[in-house]
């Protein structure tokens, strides 16, 4: 009885302290010029941009209503890095956990922020839409176990991103086109810091600042350094780590890193430099500034210095794989399930370059995978019903899951797992030729592995990660370089489907159901093809195009013969035209020679000219 009363008291205290944050946000277009170079349409929330930073405490409730007033596009919202315990249907990715929010409709994201704290962000999970500006910072505070428990005087949120002058829809169309045979990604026009350029941050001497860096870009990783200063990394992707000193940060899109900055005694201003990782750009156009300068300002009356161009390789750098979580979560045991995926980029039969995991490119099902789980009863544990082109794996509850990712591509890729942080067991360095993972060649795994929710695989390299399937839900594992996600670089991880059914029940919230009903692309029930009578009948599901044919097809042979005939005709025409020319010019030439012959008196030259005249007349005849 005493224990029950005590528990009740604790529950009451928690419920008194936990707050509900209500947001009603309309997504609308505005005409803005963040980089000072070009105005373009940008997606605002209630007309505001940069988007508001959402700040909550661990345990708080969030009621985030997104109203689609874009007028020309569907939308959605994902809260990047949040576990969404028992609230999987508010995770946000279209095709995985929801239908798109239709024009004029809305959706309520209603969840408790539980069991985690740190630096997160929120962004649209509809195509590559967040590059149009629909992204902002999301901070979860925890005075006891979060970065808030550390000693610092002030805090600043610093976002970095790439920036395009074209709409994401235009860029995606251009990229997924047979006229882009290399599959080259769109090159950004600029890099932003806090959604602006030439930003200044005022500081005072001899103070400690907590800087929360977030890369909200869509493609390019960036280096960040503050001249003549050192950072101390204390948090990555919501995981508190032992302080690690570094002069240089590297953030792939989707990644966050909080650092402590101790300011100096003297008064002088310093360049805060952000630098795009040029290795990720197919080409570097002349007018693209890959390095941008911002400033940490000790004294507003002093000038803002030029940056010194440094080779970032000269700076001391801490690899995120070597960070040690403060909670000392031990290495997870040998996996119960190992998912080995080889990824590559390849042109398929329609001439478009796709991203393939084990030869399969992710194609969105006709029913969001979570809704298939919720409508399929006991069939939910059967991988087949989720479609043959969705790269779906069904995971058992509370097992150790290992993902081995082998990169057969010569670009880097930042992979993000929804609903979890994962342990990083191993990540290879970049290679010129593919180096897939071989278990027996590996080094000893760390005792307390570094954890995060977004990890970059090196060019032609690999990584090995583990996590526990203790969060029932449909979770995407995908490249956060969204142009690649559009090319199909995603897995669907259906974690403990029967438990998902227990947690969520079978009735969708009405606004979610309405969005499916109004969508001409998705249904709310059935297997990946929208079938409810025969769960194995996948006719009508979206499939990737056939591979490019090997060798010649009938069409190819016809084309070959036709082009050979055309070539022969062309040669004949050139010959005819050329000879015609020679005849004509021959005639003119012989006239010239005859005139010359009349004027020349030297008999030797006369003889030579006579020969030439008879030769050219021969051609004429």
* Residues with Cβ within 8 Å of residue 477, at least 6 apart in sequence: 403, 415, 416, 417, 418, 490, 491, 492, 493
Closest CA to 491 of 399, 413, 439: 413
Nearest residue (CB) to Cu ion, 140 versus 187: 187
Question: Closer CB to Cu ion, residue 248 or residue 455?
Answer: 455
Q: Which 3 state secondary structure label does DSSP give 528?
A: coil
| Closer residue to Cu ion, CB minimum distance, 296 or 481 | 481
Nearest residue to 27 (alpha-carbon basis) of 42, 12, 14 = 42
Residues 196-225: x where in contact with Cu ion by CB under 5 A, - otherwise, as a string: ------------------------------
Token pair, residue 100, equals 């798109």
Q: Closer CB to Cu ion, residue 275 or residue 413?
A: 413
SS (H, E, C) 231-285: EEEEEECCEEEEEEEECEEEECCCCEEEEEEECCCCCCCEEEEEEECHHHCCCCC
DSSP 221: -
How many residues line the site for Cu ion (CB under 5 A)?
Answer: 4
Q: Please state the closest distance from residue 481 (CB atom) to Cu ion, in A.
A: 4
Output the smallest distance, CB 19 to Cu ion, in A.
38
Structure tokens at 607: 């003889």
- Cβ-based nearer residue to Cu ion, 28 or 413: 413
Residue range at the interface with Cu ion (CB under 5 A); choices 134-142, 408-416, 533-541, 597-605: 408-416
Write down the least CB distance from residue 489 to Cu ion, Å. 5
The answer to whether residues 451 and 239 touch, using CB atoms and an 8 Å cutoff, is yes
- 98 neighbors 512 (Cβ within 8 angstroms): yes
Q: From CA 442, how far away is CA 68, in angstroms rounded? A: 49
- Output the CA–CA distances (angstroms, integers) from residue 433 to 283, 343, 407, 408, in the order listed: 21, 14, 10, 8
**In angstroms, what is the C-alpha Rg of the chain?**
32
The nearest distance, CB 413 to Cu ion, in angstroms, is 3
Q: How many residues does the chain have?
A: 621
CA dihedral 331, 335, 338, 342 (to 10 degrees): 20
DSSP state of 88: G
Q: How far is the CB of 343 from Cu ion (least distance, A)?
A: 8
Q: SS3 for 428?
A: coil
Site string for Cu ion, 409-428 (x = CB under 5 A): ----x---------------
Per CB under 5 A, contacts with Cu ion among 133-162 are none
One character per residue 470-499, x = contact with Cu ion (rule: CB under 5 A): ---------x-x--x---------------
Q: Which residue has the tokens 């600029």?
A: 190
Q: Give the nearest distance from C-beta 283 to Cu ion in angstroms.
A: 18
Contacts of 24 (CB under 8 A, 6+ apart): 46, 65, 67
Rounded to the nearest whole angstrom, what is the least distance from the CB of residue 35 to Cu ion in the complex? 24
- CA atoms of 515 and 103, how far apart (whole Å): 9
Closer to Cu ion by Cβ: residue 66 or 424: 424
What minimum distance in Å lies between the beta carbon of 483 and Cu ion? 8
CB of 500 to Cu ion, least distance (A): 28
Q: How many CB atoms lie within 10 A of CB 94?
A: 24
Q: Which is nearer to Cu ion, 272 or 485 (CB)?
A: 485
| Site string (278-297) toward Cu ion, x via CB under 5 A | --------------------
CA-to-CA distance for 370 and 511, rounded, in angstroms? 16
- Shortest gap between Cβ of 456 and Cu ion (angstroms)? 9
**Minimum CB separation from Cu ion for residue 457, in Å?**
9
| Choice between 45 and 479, CB closer to Cu ion | 479
Between 157 and 481, whose beta carbon lies closer to Cu ion? 481
Name the packing angle between helices 603-620 and 554-599 (round to 10°).
140
The site map against Cu ion for 361-400 (x = CB under 5 A) is ----------------------------------------
CB nearer Cu ion, residue 479 or residue 491: 479
According to DSSP, the residues that pair with 48 across neighbouring strands are 45
Shortest Cβ 128–Cu ion spacing (Å): 12
Q: Does 405 bind Cu ion (CB under 5 A)?
A: no
Instruction: Return the number of the residue (479 or 516) whose C-beta is nearest Cu ion.
Output: 479
CB of 342 to Cu ion, least distance (A): 14
DSSP 8-class letter at 378:
G
Site for Cu ion, residues 528 to 567, rule: CB under 5 A: none
As given in the structure block, the two tokens for residue 139 are: 């901070």
Beta partners for 106? Answer: 67
Compare residues 474 and 481 and give the one whose CB is closer to Cu ion. 481
Q: Which is nearer to Cu ion, 88 or 544 (CB)?
A: 544
Nearest alpha-carbon partner for 224 in 213, 216, 233, 239: 213
Binding site for Cu ion (CB under 5 A): 413, 479, 481, 484
């Amino acid at each position: 009885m005493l224990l029950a009363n005590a528990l009740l008291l604790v529950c009451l205290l928690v419920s008194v302290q936990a707050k509900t944050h209500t947001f009603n946000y309309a997504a609308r277009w505005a005409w803005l010029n963040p980089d000072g170079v070009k105005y373009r349409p940008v997606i605002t929330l209630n007309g505001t941009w940069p988007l508001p930073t959402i700040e909550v405490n661990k345990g708080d409730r969030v009621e985030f209503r997104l109203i689609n007033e874009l007028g020309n596009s569907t939308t959605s919202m994902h809260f990047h890095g949040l576990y969404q315990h028992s609230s999987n249907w508010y995770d946000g990715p279209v095709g995985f956990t929801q239908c798109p929010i239709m024009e004029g409709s809305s959706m309520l994201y209603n969840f408790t922020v539980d069991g985690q704290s740190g630096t997160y962000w929120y962004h649209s999970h509809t195509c590559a839409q967040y590059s149009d500006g629909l992204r902002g910072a999301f901070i979860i505070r925890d005075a006891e176990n979060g970065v808030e428990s550390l000693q610092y005087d002030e805090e600043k949120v610093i976002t970095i991103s790439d920036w395009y002058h074209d709409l994401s829809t235009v860029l995606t169309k251009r990229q997924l086109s047979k006229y882009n045979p290399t599959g080259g990604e769109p090159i950004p026009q600029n890099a932003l810091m806090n959604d602006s350029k030439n930003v200044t941050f005022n500081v005072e001497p001899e103070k400690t600042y907590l800087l929360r860096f977030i890369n909200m870009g869509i493609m390019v990783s960036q280096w960040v350094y503050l001249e003549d200063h050192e950072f101390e990394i204390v948090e990555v992707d919501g995981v508190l780590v032992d302080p690690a000193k570094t002069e240089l940060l590297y953030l792939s899109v989707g990644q966050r890193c909080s650092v402590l900055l101790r300011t100096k005694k003297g008064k002088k201003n310093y360049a805060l430099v952000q630098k795009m990782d040029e290795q990720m750009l197919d080409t570097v156009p002349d007018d693209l500034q890959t390095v941008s300068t911002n400033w940490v300002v000790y004294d507003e009356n002093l000038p803002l210095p030029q940056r010194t161009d440094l080779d970032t390789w000269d700076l001391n750098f801490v690899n995120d794989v070597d960070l040690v979580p403060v909670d000392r979560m031990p290495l997870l045991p040998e996996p119960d399930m190992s998912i080995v995926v080889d990824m590559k980029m390849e042109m398929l039969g329609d001439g478009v370059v796709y991203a393939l995991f084990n030869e399969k490119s992710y194609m969105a099902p006709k029913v969001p995978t979570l809704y298939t789980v919720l409508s399929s009863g006991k069939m939910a544990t059967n991988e087949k019903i989720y479609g043959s082109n969705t790269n779906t794996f069904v995971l058992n509850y509370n097992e150790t899951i290992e993902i081995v990712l082998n990169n057969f591509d010569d670009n880097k890729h930042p992979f993000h797992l929804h609903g979890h942080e994962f342990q990083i067991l191993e990540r290879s360095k970049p290679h010129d030729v593919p180096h897939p993972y071989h278990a027996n060649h590996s080094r000893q795994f760390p005792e307390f592995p570094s954890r995060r929710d977004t990890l970059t695989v090196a060019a032609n390299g690999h990584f090995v990660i583990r996590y526990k399937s203790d969060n029932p839900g449909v979770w995407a594992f995908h490249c956060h370089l969204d142009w690649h996600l559009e090319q199909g670089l995603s897995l669907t991880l259906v974690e403990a489907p029967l438990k998902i059914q227990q947690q969520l029940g079978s009735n969708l919230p009405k606004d979610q159901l309405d969005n499916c009903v109004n969508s001409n692309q998705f249904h709310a029930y059935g297997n990946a093809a929208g079938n409810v009578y025969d769960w194995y009948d996948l006719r009508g599901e979206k499939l990737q195009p056939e591979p490019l044919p090997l060798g010649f097809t009938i069409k190819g042979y016809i084309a070959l013969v036709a082009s050979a005939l055309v070539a022969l005709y062309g040669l004949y025409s050139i010959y005819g035209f050329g000879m015609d020319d020679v005849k004509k010019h021959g005639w003119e030439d012989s006239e010239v020679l005859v005139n010359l012959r009349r004027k020349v008196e030297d008999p030797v030259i006369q003889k030579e000219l006579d020969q030439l005249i008879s030769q050219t007349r021969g051609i004429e005849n």
